[in-house]
Structure 1
Amino acid sequence: MGKPLSSKEIGEKVRLLRKHAGLTQEKLAELVGVSFQQIQKYENGSTKLNTDKLQQVASALNVSASAFFGEDTYEKSPLSDREKKLIKAFRSLGDEEIQDGLVKLIVKAGTKTI
């Protein structure tokens, strides 16, 4: 068993999963029933998440509480509604040439933001 994660490390996972879910701090705060400032404090590690709040955050992000403690959280987190919509639209195209063009466009656009 590895060393326990710090509040800062757990907060970083919260931020990563929140962004992956396409949620703002304000929206996550609304879903959890706290202020967006409190979400900021969780994410920067200045306030510890107790087990009840951790479970509420996990539920709002549609992940299990254990997602905050694994190494590959980002890779296994569920798709957001936007991502599901994008995949459905992509698959409905049917034309592989158009699909390939879209993939190239998205990859190129994504590398400009990294």
Structure 2
Amino acid sequence: MARTLPNRNFGRASIKFMDICEHLQSAGDPAPLPAEGCAECLETGGRWVHLRKCLSCGHVGCCDSSPSRHATAHFHQSGHPVMRSYEPGEEWRWCFVDNALG
């Protein structure tokens, strides 16, 4: 079940915060599986642009800007709903089920 954060009125602009889905609310942050990059790309000699980490099992896969899109493939194979950026300095998360950023 999603919860809605309250609207805030900042002068003339009204900002409505997005719903936070239940998957993002309950996502863990497991240690990454041992990998020096996208696990599948390393096995096949592929290349990646950015890395993403599954917040259910720690799988590290490549982003959708990468040719093979292994993080999304991992979601379709496993059903694990939430991943996060695995890039230094980035903390955002993505829920595949609800198409929600958190």
Both proteins in one fold, TM over 0.5 = no
If the TM-score is normalised by the length of the shorter chain, which range does it land in? Answer: under 0.3
Larger Rg: 1
Q: TM-score, length-normalised on structure 2? A: 0.25
- Report the structure, 1 or 2, having the larger helix content: 1
| RCO higher in structure (CA 8 A, sep ≥6) | 1
